[in-house]
């Protein structure tokens, strides 16, 4: 018996075929084709990497401010300091005084003049040849050196199988009609070029990935993605779902099921739907009347009123004798929905089941029985609804609030067998995180999108102020005046990602300080470690104005709704991302009072944080904020933590390459219509086994 050898570092990265290696394209290049004197380097090497060489004249380990290695090299023209904050003894030896080294890095202004921090160093004779092509730098992992990857890629590029794998098979006629230019090289040439660009290549366009060779690769990648998304779309249309057409509701009351819920709900609502709400409700209503499952994202800024739309959709499903489920990512948010739905639906006689992770075993069992027997018409809960494999009697609609927090992997595939047929349930996702159009076109080609682009009437804009933490006392005295007017406020404690314990500790400290500073008012504290009953009790007290100031960790980020609380202070706002602050801030500005959000920050402020706080002060437009966020973090994070990874486009940047998406879309349509035989081949080439995200 032979035992399989453990996977090599290359295999662990999935680089186990010539094709995989060929598509492992450089993330950047190093220019070792040119060599500059030290004097030239000092002038040219700011902001980009440059190569120079010289003799070591000093090699010294210092301990101030921390242990580091300082090396000075010199040539006929000048000298240059190299600084290493981490180093091995072998490096110290390599750069012994008298050694000749070739170094490459950026020149920066250090405390003692210009220097290179952590340059790449090679000990070579002064006349060692320069390389003929730019040196690729590959995405790597621990234990996998550039040298190993470079060797493996070079070998792969010579592999005979590659000719076949990278063969040109997109019809030239179609390409000529669609592509804006004919200077994109054939695929195989493009890939070879990107691995070994000649010394005279346009480095800038290579780095920016706008070079024709990159364009060719990006186009192919997008094409594969568009094809698979269009396919997913077609597959969904072939699935069966119960049709909830308006006017076709069950007319007779059977099994004690109440009917006319939708009409009833519209009557009990204390407000009229806004124009935008009416529009999205009709879009959703139409989807629900189809015999294939709805897959729709309802997008609307914080406070735009998505909940009532979810309730209407649920009512429609219930009127057809089906169950509806509403899920939220956090217990607090799910509870808010539960309370709201009780308020709206219980007068109409609807049976609601509440299911969350923290229920006692007995309560959970009871809820599950109600769900399984069909007695519960509306089911509200957290992720537990998905995770615990609850079996529904007759689920017709699943609403998933703040769906981006669930991530694609947790998206539901609820099906049930009716006779010999499989039925899927309709799905409505809701999100306050606006998804920029480019993103929607790629990740969500099979997701229909409705947008609530209007806030309910009477909302006041939120004035956002950015204040130094040193002025905390002033902020607290302002808070005193505020509360004295009979208004309420939130105090949000800093996010400490590394430690929940620390986060709790600072929250408790702020709570104690504020309790002391504001003796006339009741201060409450809510955080993630509280039991859900305790959380609910605090929230209820805040809602009833028994608590005037609510000190909270980010548990209140989503969904909390207390109109009389129109002031929010966020401590250490510099630690929060765009989306978080936007969501948090959306908790205020819901009542008739002028709303204020105070972003307190501690110095020193990084450039990025400064820009972020400034943007947040200037705009409360969710779309603007989301675009900034996208350019900063990339789509993976915006869509949900775990969603990126294999779902990511590897070579395409959705902002930079937006125009390519449209090209790829056209090409995908034509390929599917005219060259169905080539479609499989193209998908196989680009996606291989990475087909997970196509189910979206
Ligand atoms: P979100 O979209 O952030 O989930 P909610 O559904 O929680 O927003 O709605 C925010 C608040 O606005 C709630 O108090 C809700 O009752 C109220 N609301 C929703 N629609 C309207 C409307 N058409 N007119 C007035 N108030 C509304
Ligand atoms: Mg909401």
For the chain, give every domain's residue range: 34-130, 261-452, 462-619
Q: For 240, how many CA atoms within 13 A lie in the half-sphere containing its CB?
A: 9
pLDDT in tens, 173-185: 888 888 888 889 9
What's the confidence (pLDDT) of residue 258?
Answer: 52
**What residues pack around ion ligand 2 (CB closer than 5 A)?**
559
Residue 692 above 50 pLDDT? Answer: no
Under DSSP, is residue 574 helix (H, G, I), strand (E, B) or coil? helix
Q: Is the CB of residue 635 below 6 angstroms from any atom belonging to ligand 1?
A: no
Structure tokens at 66: 């921390």
What's the confidence (pLDDT) of residue 498?
Answer: 64
* Rounded Cα gap, residues 165 and 169, in angstroms: 10
- Per the CATH hierarchy, to which homologous superfamily does domain 261-452 belong? P-loop containing nucleotide triphosphate hydrolases (3.40.50.300)
Higher-confidence residue of 417 and 48: namely 48
With the most atoms of ligand 1 within 8 angstroms of its CB, the residue from 305, 313, 432, 595 to mutate is: 305
With the most atoms of ligand 1 within 8 angstroms of its CB, the residue from 335, 433, 456, 583 to mutate is: 456
CA of 352 to the centre of ligand 1 (A): 21
Q: 248 pLDDT band (50/70/90 cuts)?
A: confident
Q: 688 pLDDT band (50/70/90 cuts)?
A: low
Residue 579 above 80 pLDDT? Answer: no
What's the confidence (pLDDT) of residue 646?
Answer: 35
Q: 444 pLDDT band (50/70/90 cuts)?
A: low
Residue 601 above 90 pLDDT? Answer: yes
Q: Is the CB of residue 299 below 6 angstroms from any atom belonging to ligand 1?
A: no
The residue-averaged pLDDT of 644-660 equals 68
H or E segment at 104?
A: strand 100-105
Tell me if the pTM is above 0.75: no
What's the confidence (pLDDT) of residue 353?
Answer: 95
Q: Is the CB of residue 271 below 6 angstroms from any atom belonging to ligand 1?
A: yes
pLDDT in tens, 138-169: 988 777 888 899 999 999 999 988 888 888 88
CA of 533 to the centre of ligand 1 (A): 25
* Rounded Cα gap, residues 553 and 50, in angstroms: 47
Q: Is the CB of residue 589 below 6 angstroms from any atom belonging to ligand 1?
A: no
What's the confidence (pLDDT) of residue 388?
Answer: 67
What's the confidence (pLDDT) of residue 102?
Answer: 95
153 close to 139: Cβ distance less than 8 angstroms: no
Q: 408 pLDDT band (50/70/90 cuts)?
A: very low
Residue 645 above 50 pLDDT? Answer: no
The residue-averaged pLDDT of 505-518 equals 92
- Whether domain 462-619 has CATH 3.40.50.1820: no
CA of 368 to the centre of ligand 1 (A): 30
- Per the CATH hierarchy, to which homologous superfamily does domain 34-130 belong? Nucleic acid-binding proteins (2.40.50.140)
Residue with the smallest CA separation from ligand 1 atom 22 is 456
Q: 256 pLDDT band (50/70/90 cuts)?
A: very low
Mean pLDDT of the chain: 84
pLDDT in tens, 99-144: 999 999 999 988 888 999 989 899 989 888 888 888 898 988 777 8
Q: Do domains 261-452 and 462-619 have the same CATH topology?
A: yes
Higher-confidence residue of 82 and 226: namely 82
* Rounded Cα gap, residues 491 and 597, in angstroms: 10
Residue 504 above 90 pLDDT? Answer: no
* Rounded Cα gap, residues 260 and 252, in angstroms: 10
Residue with the smallest CA separation from ligand 1 atom 4 is 306
Indicate which ligand has the atom closest to the C-alpha of 328.
2
Q: Is the CB of residue 665 below 6 angstroms from any atom belonging to ligand 1?
A: no
CA of 521 to the centre of ligand 1 (A): 28
Least confident piece of the model among 31-35, 51-55, 500-504:
500-504
Q: Is the CB of residue 585 below 6 angstroms from any atom belonging to ligand 1?
A: no
Q: Is the CB of residue 45 below 6 angstroms from any atom belonging to ligand 1?
A: no
pLDDT in tens, 310-351: 999 999 999 999 999 999 877 777 888 998 899 999 999 999
What's the confidence (pLDDT) of residue 638?
Answer: 41
- Give phi and psi for 622, each to the nearest 5: -55, -35
**The CA-based dihedral angle spanning residues 155, 158, 163, 165, taken in that order and rounded to the nearest 10 degrees:** 0
With the most atoms of ligand 1 within 8 angstroms of its CB, the residue from 299, 307, 309 to mutate is: 307
Indicate which ligand has the atom closest to the C-alpha of 583.
1
Q: Is the CB of residue 260 below 6 angstroms from any atom belonging to ligand 1?
A: no
Own/partner contacts of 355-362, CB < 8 Å, gap of 24 or more, are: 355/379, 355/380, 355/381, 355/382, 355/384, 355/385, 355/388, 355/390, 356/331, 356/381, 356/382, 356/384, 356/532, 357/331, 357/382, 357/383, 357/384, 358/331, 358/531, 358/532
Residue 376 above 70 pLDDT? Answer: yes
CA of 500 to the centre of ligand 1 (A): 32
Structure tokens at 6: 């453990």
The residue-averaged pLDDT of 621-630 equals 76
CA of 212 to the centre of ligand 2 (A): 45
- CB-CB neighbours of 471 under 10 Å: 12
Q: Is the CB of residue 283 below 6 angstroms from any atom belonging to ligand 1?
A: no
Q: Is the CB of residue 311 below 6 angstroms from any atom belonging to ligand 1?
A: no
Residue 541 above 80 pLDDT? Answer: yes
The residue-averaged pLDDT of 379-403 equals 83
């Amino acid at each position: 018996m032979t035992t399989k050898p453990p996977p090599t570092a290359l295999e662990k990265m999935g680089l186990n075929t010539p094709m995989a290696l060929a598509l492992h394209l450089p993330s950047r290049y190093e220019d070792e084709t040119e060599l500059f004197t030290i004097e030239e380097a000092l002038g040219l090497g700011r902001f980009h990497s440059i190569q120079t060489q010289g003799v070591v004249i000093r090699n010294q380990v210092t301990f101030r401010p921390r242990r580091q290695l300082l090396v000075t090299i010199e040539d006929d023209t000048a000298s240059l300091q190299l600084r290493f904050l981490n180093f091995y003894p072998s490096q110290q030896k390599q750069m012994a005084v008298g050694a000749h080294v070739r170094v490459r890095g950026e020149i920066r202004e250090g405390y003692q003049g210009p220097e290179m921090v952590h340059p790449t160093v090679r000990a070579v004779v002064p006349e060692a040849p320069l390389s003929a092509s730019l040196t690729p730098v590959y995405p790597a992992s621990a234990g996998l050196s550039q040298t190993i990857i470079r060797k493996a890629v070079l070998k792969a590029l010579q592999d005979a199988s590659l000719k076949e794998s990278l063969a040109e098979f997109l019809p030239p006629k179609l390409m000529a009609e669609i592509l804006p230019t004919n200077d994109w090289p054939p695929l195989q040439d493009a890939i070879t070029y990107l691995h070994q660009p000649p010394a005279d290549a346009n480095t800038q366009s290579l780095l920016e990935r706008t070079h024709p060779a990159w364009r060719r690769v990006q186009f192919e990648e997008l094409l594969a993605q568009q094809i698979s998304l269009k396919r997913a779309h077609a597959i969904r249309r072939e699935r069966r779902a119960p049709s909830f057409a308006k006017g076709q509701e069950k007319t007779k009351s059977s099994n004690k099921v109440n009917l006319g819920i939708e009409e009833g709900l519209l009557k009990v609502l204390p407000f009229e739907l806004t124009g935008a709400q009416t529009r999205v409700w009709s879009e959703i209503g139409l989807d629900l009347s189809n015999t294939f499952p709805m897959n729709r994202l309802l997008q609307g800024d914080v406070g735009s009123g998505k909940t009532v739309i979810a309730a209407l959709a649920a009512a429609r499903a219930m009127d057809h004798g089906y169950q509806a489920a509403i899920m939220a990512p956090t217990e607090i948010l799910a509870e808010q929905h539960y309370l709201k739905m009780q308020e709206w639906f219980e007068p109409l006689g609807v049976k609601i089941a509440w299911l969350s992770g923290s229920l006692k075993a007995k309560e959970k069992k009871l809820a599950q029985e109600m769900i399984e027997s069909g007695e519960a018409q509306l089911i509200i809960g957290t992720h537990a609804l998905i995770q615990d494999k609850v079996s529904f009697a007759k689920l017709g609609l699943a609403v998933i609030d703040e769906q981006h927090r669930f991530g694609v992997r947790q998206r539901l595939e609820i099906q049930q067998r009716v006779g010999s047929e499989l039925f899927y349930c309709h799905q409505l996702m809701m999100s306050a995180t606006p998804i920029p159009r480019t993103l929607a076109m790629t990740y969500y080609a099979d997701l229909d999108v409705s947008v609530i682009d209007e806030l309910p009437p009477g909302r006041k804009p939120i004035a956002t102020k950015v204040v130094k933490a040193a002025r905390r006392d002033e902020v607290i005295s302002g808070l005193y005046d505020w509360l004295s007017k009979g208004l309420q406020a939130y105090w949000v404690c800093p996010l400490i990602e590394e430690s929940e314990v620390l986060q709790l500790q600072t929250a408790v400290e702020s709570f104690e300080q504020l309790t002391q500073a504001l003796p006339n008012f009741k201060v409450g504290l809510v955080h993630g470690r509280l039991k859900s009953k305790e959380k609910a009790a605090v929230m209820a007290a805040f809602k009833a104005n028994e608590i005037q100031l609510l000190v909270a960790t980010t548990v209140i980020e989503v969904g909390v709704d207390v109109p009389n609380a129109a002031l929010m202070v966020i401590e250490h706002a510099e630690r929060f991302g765009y989306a978080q602050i936007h969501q948090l801030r959306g908790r205020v500005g819901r009542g008739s009072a002028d709303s204020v959000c105070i972003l307190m920050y501690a110095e020193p402020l990084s450039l990025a944080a400064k820009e972020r706080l400034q943007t947040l002060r200037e705009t409360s437009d969710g779309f603007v904020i989301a675009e900034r966020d996208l350019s900063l973090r990339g789509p993976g994070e915006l869509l949900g933590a775990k969603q990126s990874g294999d779902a990511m486009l590897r070579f395409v940047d959705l902002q930079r390459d937006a125009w390519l998406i449209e090209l790829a879309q056209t090409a995908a349509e034509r390929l599917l219509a005219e060259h169905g035989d080539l479609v499989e081949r193209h998908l196989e080439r680009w996606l291989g086994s990475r087909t997970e995200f196509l189910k979206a």
